């Protein structure tokens, strides 16, 4: 294991000897990111690694009806995000897709579960901050690669719908928002994504352009209550007085009623359902009766 990774892990230790966040940031900037970039480049050009990854993933034989990613394949893929680089991981995905799995199912049954599993391992102290950060970085790179590999439906002229997606203020990781954004983009929406921003930055961004929808993801419960104030401000500054605000993340999966409690228009179990919910809300009257759909929306995003 590299010296840089070892130093990063020492910097993120949970014991009394843990280093400061500033020290961790310096290690990540000076060692981890350059190594990731080199490994990512080499992985994409490594034929031998790609062939090995395809063999490890196994092919999914087409059957009648909708195809699903086998559980054992999803479990192996989640574990691989901790050790494999983007090239071999993409080879695994392409092997699964060669068996007839569509890209939407890849997002729902391979990438999103892998991200959740990384979070679970972190909660259980089975892996550390660097492991999780590197795994999520690889997953984000894969989302970008799939976006280029399998483009979605273009927006019809004159009928563009605009959406902004971002982690809620205080959140550190934006993979959930990125995956949801990809579903909207593939459905023909014009989409913008933002990194983790504070309240002022997010509100300024939302005020700079007329959006039909703003989507925010939350994974940490303590970030839910402050989001109510953020939503009020987003509506106040929006150039679109009927802007829809959807929220998602495991916090809302566990308690979907929180969406209406903080003033959001709805929440959905995944990106695919979020698109359906948004289109339903946009097609309905945007009066209070229309916005009441949030109470019966599918849970989580």
Give CA 187 to chain center in angstroms.
17
Instruction: Give 87-134 pLDDT, tens digit per residue.
Output: 999 999 998 888 888 888 898 889 888 988 888 888 788 888 888 888
Which homologous superfamily is 162-296 in? Cobalamin-binding domain (3.40.50.280)
Cα dist from 58 to 52, 82, 108, 109, 251, whole Å: 10, 19, 19, 16, 34
The pLDDT assigned to 66 comes to 64
Determine the Cα–Cα distance for residues 138 and 58; give it in Å rounded to an integer.
21
The pLDDT assigned to 29 comes to 44
Buried b (16+ CB within 10 A) or exposed e, 235-270: beebeeeebbbbbbbbbbbeebebbbebbbbbbbbb
Mean pLDDT of all residues belonging to the chain: 75
| Average pLDDT of span 128-148 | 86
- The number of residues in the chain equals 301
**Could you give the residue range(s) of every CATH 3.40.50.280 domain in the chain?**
162-296
∠ at Cα 229 (222, 172), nearest 5°? 40
Task: Kindly report the pTM of this predicted structure.
Answer: 0.64
**Of 30-34, 75-79, 128-132, 229-233, which range is least confident?**
30-34
Closest CA to 158 of 192, 180, 191, 188: 188
- What is the distance between the terminal CA atoms of the chain, rounded to a whole angstrom? 36
| Average pLDDT of span 235-244 | 94
Determine the Cα–Cα distance for residues 247 and 166; give it in Å rounded to an integer.
10
pLDDT category of residue 158 using cuts at 50, 70 and 90: low
Instruction: Give 70-92 pLDDT, tens digit per residue.
Output: 888 889 999 999 999 999 999 99
| Average pLDDT of span 5-21 | 43
Q: Which of 72-86, 140-154, 167-181 has the highest mean pLDDT?
A: 72-86
């Amino acid at each position: 294991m590299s010296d840089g990774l070892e130093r990063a892990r020492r910097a993120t230790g949970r014991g009394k000897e843990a280093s400061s966040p500033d020290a961790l940031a310096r290690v990540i900037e000076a060692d981890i990111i350059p190594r990731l970039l080199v490994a990512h480049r080499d992985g994409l050009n490594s034929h031998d690694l790609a062939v090995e990854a395809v063999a490890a993933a196994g092919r999914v034989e087409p059957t009648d009806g909708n195809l699903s990613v086998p559980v054992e394949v999803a479990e192996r893929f989640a574990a691989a995000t901790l050790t494999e680089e983007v090239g071999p991981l993409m080879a695994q995905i392409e092997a699964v897709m060669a068996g007839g799995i569509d890209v939407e199912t890849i997002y729902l049954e391979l990438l999103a579960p892998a991200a959740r599993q990384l979070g679970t391992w972190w909660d259980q102290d089975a892996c550390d901050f660097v492991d999780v950060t590197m795994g999520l970085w690889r997953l984000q790179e894969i989302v970008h690669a799939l976006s280029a590999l399998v483009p979605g439906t273009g927006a019809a002229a004159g009928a563009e719908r605009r959406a902004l997606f971002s982690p809620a203020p205080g959140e550190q990781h934006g993979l959930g928002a990125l995956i949801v954004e990809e579903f909207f983009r593939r459905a023909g929406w014009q989409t913008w994504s933002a990194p983790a921003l504070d309240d002022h930055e997010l509100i300024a961004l939302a005020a700079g352009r007329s959006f039909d929808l703003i989507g925010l993801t939350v994974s940490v419960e303590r970030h839910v209550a402050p989001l109510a104030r953020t939503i009020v401000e987003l509506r106040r500054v929006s150039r679109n007085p009927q802007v829809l605000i959807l929220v998602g993340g495991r916090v809302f999966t566990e308690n979907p009623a929180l969406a209406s409690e903080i003033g959001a228009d709805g929440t959905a179990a995944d990106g695919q359902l979020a698109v359906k919910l948004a289109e339903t809300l946009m097609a309905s009257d945007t009066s209070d009766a229309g916005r009441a759909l949030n109470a019966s929306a599918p849970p989580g995003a």
